[in-house]
Amino acid sequence: MKHGDHDTVSDRSEPQRALHRMEQQNQALSILNELALDQSGTDEEKIRTALIRGADFLGLPVAILSEITGEAYLVRATNVPESADLYPGQLFSLGQTYCSILLRQQGCLAIHHMSQSPYRNHPCYRAFGLEAYIAAPVIIQGRTFGTLNFSSPDPRPHPFTDTEITFVTLLTKWLASLLEGQITARTLTKLVRQAPGMLYQYRQWPDGRSAFPYTSPGIRDIYGCSPEEVAEDASRVFERIHPDDLPAVAESIQTSSTHLSTWQHQYRVRSDRGWRWVEGRATPEKLADNSIIWHGYITDIDDKKRTQLALQESEAQLRRLFELSPIGIALNDLHTGAFLAVNDALLAPTGYHREQFLGLHPSALMAGDFPAFRSQVMRELNDTGRFGPYELTITRHDRSHYPALVQGLVIKGDAGQTLIWTLVEDISERKKVERMKNEFISSVSHELRTPLTSIAGSLGLIASGALGQLPDKVAQMVQIAARNSDQLKHLINDLLDMEKLVSGRIRMSIEPAPLFPVLAEAVEQLRTYAMDREVSLALAPDHPDRRAAFDRHRLQQAVMNLLSNAIKFSPRQARVDIRIRPRPGHLRVEVSDRGPGIPSSFHPQLFEKFAQADSSTTRDQRGTGLGLAITREIMTQMGGEVGFRTRVGQGSTFWLDIPRAP
């Protein structure tokens, strides 16, 4: 008799009813034990068996395992009569099922006669006419997954017993554990498929055998084989490893096995796209049979590895350049100034050992006003990311000095810190050669000055007619010779001035005085030259009483150099403007022309000796090429500066910054 048939239960005596309860309990436990212990069949077959056994025990023809998502009720599995139009995959609205009643309460729901219950107006009853219904929620990982329910279109004469309610509750829990395993496995499978590379278990036995008991499908991308091909024998995997890398891979596995330490290695594997770099990491576990099993992953790192190798090669090349460069190179921290690295070319002229040098602050190496120099460098680095070049005097270990050309640029370190590459070029030999050249020029100039003065004077007398009238052709040639001898005399005088300035043999007599009269005198001295070239000179009358500290003779020489250049390069009928502009700490003298301007390519050489722009339009305007070099040297020795701004085709403005009088 099915336990759902209770037509004679009420007629039994109490001992009979107790016996019936025991039989019912024993049968329920037997069903549950059989289901739990039976390991045969798939999970779906086990669920189907559970529904059949449950329906038979309860005497109810309809059994459903459902999955509920929001308001959607999905039929996962069924056991129903053939005539019933119900099958897995059907979807209902949750509100159209008795499960909506179940989910509003706790525990199991059991109704033996729906038409006599408070739920007789429920949509499910009106639609399907199910009279008997018992159900329990399927709880997985703390949330309601769905329901297990049994039902019948026929009412039961008596309510469901405690044994039947307990049976449904326990059967639901067993199904929940089965489903939880399914869900966990499905979730892991999805995650594994999304994981880069392959997840695996690798096992190695004491006799040397090895296999991959588990590998994710990603093994095809790494080793080009299937999980089944390596489940019993791992040799297929090792055949794909680069021969040069295989010994190191084997050694790393042996080390991990011996010490039970984490295995991690990078190596190359053959693929359809050639040799590719992979990286593996796994944790070993020793099993009872003394075999070792590793749990880990292997992922393709080819792009990253090749980038890393290229970067390492680039760094190695830079390191070789750094170490072998004939120019001194230092790496400094921008904020502290500390030396982080130096090459041999920088150490050699200083006399320091590397450890000594790295412990120095840059101020210990520089003779002069280091704070002012650092401020200037920081301004340039903030504006352009580089500084210099500057000619500095470097202090050696023995406190002697040598000249160096210093420049640098900002870079970012690996840790994101701001660093400076500094180039320090020892220019001692260059200075020595320059000094020898200057001495030679000075000596030759002195030797030439006396006879050249005599020649120029004689030619001047002849050209003026003082010695008699000359034929026209002869007079013309003598005038050319007189002009050229005058120009040569000016060149020699400029050379001697430059040599004296550079050697320090010209003593500056710097005194406070009004600036305007010096400019006015320079303008008057060049007025005739300007008129000959049809150029007007305009001295702005502003600030006539402003005072500065300067050597009057040398400042006038510097101003006249700028004025003569402006006149020389101005077109006819143009104007040259001269003005004074007060600036913080100094007075600025500006000389502006409307000439052709200066090409940007010539800017770096502008103040060098003998520097002249090579342009066909200026060939007839050339001078000695020493005027601006002399001007810069004069301003430097007076504690001032010289500079310019220019626009090609629109003219140039040269300026002198002269310290204010105290």
Does the residue 612 lie in any domain?
A: yes
Range in 152-161, 173-182, 426-435, 580-589 with the lowest mean pLDDT: 426-435
Give the residue from 158, 189, 220 where a domain finishes.
189
What whole-number percentage of the chain has pLDDT above 70?
Answer: 89
91 neighbors 74 (Cβ within 8 angstroms): yes
| Same-domain pairing of 498 and 390 | no
pLDDT digits (tens, 9 = 90+) for 215-235: 998 999 999 999 999 999 999
Residue 474 has pLDDT above 90, yes or no: no
| Same-domain pairing of 521 and 641 | yes
Does the residue 297 lie in any domain?
A: yes
Strand runs labelled E in 35-170 = 62-69, 72-79, 91-93, 109-111, 132-140, 143-152
Residue 167 has pLDDT above 70, yes or no: yes
Return the CATH number at 596: 3.30.565.10
Enclosing H/E stretch for 483: helix 472-503
Residues 6+ apart with CB under 8 A from 363: 337, 370
Domain count, the chain: 5
| Same-domain pairing of 47 and 175 | yes
Does the residue 314 lie in any domain?
A: no
- In 3D space, the residue among 171, 230, 217, 153 whose CA is nearest the CA of residue 191 turns out to be 217
| Same-domain pairing of 408 and 444 | no
Confidence of residue 6 (pLDDT cuts 50, 70, 90): very low
Cβ-based burial of 65 (10 A; exposed 0-12, middle 13-18, buried ≥19)? buried
Confidence of residue 295 (pLDDT cuts 50, 70, 90): very high
Instruction: Write out the residue range of the structural domain in which residue 217 sits.
Output: 195-307
Residues 6+ apart with CB under 8 A from 201: 212, 213, 214, 215, 293, 294, 295
Q: What's the pLDDT score for residue 602?
A: 84
| Same-domain pairing of 543 and 628 | yes
Does the residue 2 lie in any domain?
A: no
Residue 159 has pLDDT above 70, yes or no: yes
| Same-domain pairing of 378 and 245 | no
Q: Is the backbone peptide bond immediately before 88 cis, with ω within 30 degrees of 0?
A: no
Which SS3 state, helix, strand or coil, does residue 57 take? helix
Q: What's the pLDDT score for residue 72?
A: 94
pLDDT digits (tens, 9 = 90+) for 300-322: 999 898 888 888 887 788 788 88
Residue 575 has pLDDT above 90, yes or no: yes
Cα–chain-centroid distance for residue 372? Answer: 33
pLDDT digits (tens, 9 = 90+) for 509-522: 899 999 999 999 99
Does the residue 3 lie in any domain?
A: no
Cβ-based burial of 384 (10 A; exposed 0-12, middle 13-18, buried ≥19)? exposed
Q: How far apart are CA 157 and CA 7, in angstroms?
A: 7
Does the residue 319 lie in any domain?
A: no
| Same-domain pairing of 381 and 280 | no
Determine the average pLDDT of the residues in 600-623.
64
Return the CATH number at 217: 3.30.450.20
Which SS3 state, helix, strand or coil, does residue 294 take? strand
327 neighbors 424 (Cβ within 8 angstroms): yes
356 neighbors 397 (Cβ within 8 angstroms): yes
Q: Dmax over Cα atoms in the chain, in whole Å?
A: 172
Residue 243 has pLDDT above 90, yes or no: yes
Does the residue 126 lie in any domain?
A: yes
| Same-domain pairing of 106 and 176 | yes
Q: What's the pLDDT score for residue 413?
A: 77
Give the residue from 445, 476, 503 where a domain finishes.
503
- Within 13 Å and on the Cβ side, how many CA atoms surround 288? 0
Other C-beta atoms within 10 Å of 113: how many? Answer: 16
Within the chain, how many helices (H) and strands (E) appear? 19, 24
Q: What's the pLDDT score for residue 616?
A: 44
pLDDT digits (tens, 9 = 90+) for 541-560: 988 889 999 999 889 989 98
| Same-domain pairing of 127 and 88 | yes
| Same-domain pairing of 35 and 179 | yes
322 neighbors 303 (Cβ within 8 angstroms): no
Give the residue from 426, 444, 471 where a domain finishes.
426
647 neighbors 597 (Cβ within 8 angstroms): yes
| Same-domain pairing of 238 and 291 | yes
| Same-domain pairing of 155 and 281 | no
* Average pLDDT score, the chain: 87
